Amino acid sequence: MIKALVAACALGAGLVSTASAAEQFVGRWAVSAEVCGAMGGDNARNSALVATDTSLWWFDGYCRIGKMYKTRAVYVQAHCGARGDVPVTLDAQGDRMKITWDKKVEELRRCK
Q: What is the pLDDT of residues 47-101, one digit of tens each?
A: 999 999 999 999 988 999 999 999 999 999 999 998 899 999 999 999 999 999 9
Please determine, for residue 14, whether its predicted confidence score (pLDDT) is greater than 70: no
Residue boundaries of the structural domains of the chain:
25-110
| 79 contacts 64 by C-beta, under 8 angstroms | yes
Which distant-in-sequence residues (6+ apart) come within 8 Å of 112 by Cβ?
33, 36
The helix or strand, by DSSP H or E, that contains position 88, with its residue range, turns out to be strand 85-93
Q: pTM of the full predicted structure?
A: 0.78
pLDDT the model gives residue 40? 79
Which distant-in-sequence residues (6+ apart) come within 8 Å of 16 by Cβ?
none
- C-alpha distances in Å from residue 40, one per residue of 6, 31, 47: 48, 14, 6
| 42 contacts 59 by C-beta, under 8 angstroms | yes
Q: CA 23, CA 67: separation in Å to the nearest integer?
A: 15
